[in-house]
Amino acid sequence: MSFKTEIEAIVGDIDIPDYTSQATLYLVEGVKFITKSLMIVSDIANRMTSSTTLNNSPTTMSTASVLEIVSVTRNDGSRDRKATQIKAEDAGDYTDVNSIYFTSKLDPKYYIQSGTLNVIPTPANGQSALIKHITPDTSVALGDTSIDNLPDELERGVVLYASRELLRYIMNQIRKPNVASGTELTADMAAGAIGTDADKRDYDKYFDISMDFIADEDVELAQTMMQQIQTYLQNYQVDLTADTQQYQWYESQYVKVTQDLLTFLSQYIGIQPTGEVDEIAADDWSNKKTSSRTWY
């Protein structure tokens, strides 16, 4: 089934088309989150690795979406040779034939400058460079059923992440009392004219109109307006209670999905669910990594 169907099954009775842009954003974020969280596991990292070949076109590779450079090799015409990383500011020394650091195809180097990976000597036909890297699939869409460069069993984690963030977004969209000054109910009430029918039907002008009636000593009409205000407040309370119950339901789902996500990740990196619903920090888990690979 599609990721859209899976998210709907978790989030509950909502119309995903109303949240297409948000759900798509969270799905892409989920791919990045799961990839970054689990690439610290070597067996999984190997299955996330993809390759890019550089020759005379293109000769460089963008690292804008790359999370890790696994390895760089360059062919010398007969065999592949491992390239070692150098600082971008030193690149000129390795291409200068008059420098003691000048390097040849037998001892290739690579460096990253302004988000672009460059290989020295420049790759060419018959002497191409191969970059192995971990790059999350940012082209994933709600209608998709698979994700490039991600093992199938990890897709569940992406769906859980996207569902959790969508639940958070929906909770924030549930309306709240809106009082202009934040201190008094009357601060949100506008001025209304007694002789204007439209004003009489506009609840945010009830207080002003009722006070006008009192000032005119029309007690009966003032009482009628006060009854309308009371009815409005009662209806508002019912509406607010319904919104509160709705929020609490989505909040309970959010907690459940967060726990499910923690449980899912714990299968691979030993996280122990604690009942907390705080944001999971993938960066903290990445500190467990002990290899010398390049991170971005």
pLDDT one-digit tens code per residue, 221-232: 667 767 766 766
Mean pLDDT of the 196-208 span: 59
Question: Which pLDDT score, from 0 to 100, does residue 55 have?
Answer: 94
Is 93 a domain residue?
A: yes
CB 149 within 8 A of CB 50: yes
Is 214 a domain residue?
A: no
pLDDT tier for residue 250 given thresholds of 50, 70 and 90 = confident
Q: Which of the residue ranges 128-132, 267-271, 286-290 would you say has the lowest mean pLDDT?
A: 286-290
Question: Which pLDDT score, from 0 to 100, does residue 282 have?
Answer: 45
Tens digits of per-residue pLDDT, 149-172?
A: 999 999 999 999 999 999 999 888
Question: Which pLDDT score, from 0 to 100, does residue 290 have?
Answer: 42
Is 103 a domain residue?
A: yes
pLDDT above 90 for 102:
yes
Query: Structural domain tally of the chain?
Result: 1
Tens digits of per-residue pLDDT, 20-44?
A: 999 999 999 999 999 999 999 999 9
Is 190 a domain residue?
A: no
pLDDT above 80 for 78:
yes
Mean pLDDT of the 84-92 span: 97
Is 217 a domain residue?
A: no
CB 55 within 8 A of CB 124: yes
Is 98 a domain residue?
A: yes
> Rounded to an integer, what distance in angstroms lies between the CA atom of residue 90 and that of residue 103?
12
Is 155 a domain residue?
A: yes
Question: Which pLDDT score, from 0 to 100, does residue 115 have?
Answer: 96
> Rounded to an integer, what distance in angstroms lies between the CA atom of residue 40 and that of residue 34?
11
CB 39 within 8 A of CB 118: no
For residue 19, CA distances in Å to 162, 169, 286, 294 come to 12, 9, 31, 37
Mean pLDDT of the 257-269 span: 93
pLDDT tier for residue 249 given thresholds of 50, 70 and 90 = confident
Mean pLDDT of the 200-210 span: 59
Which class for 123: exposed (0-12), middle (13-18), buried (19 or more C-beta within 10 A)? Answer: buried
Q: Which domain holds residue 94?
A: 3-173+255-295
Is 274 a domain residue?
A: yes
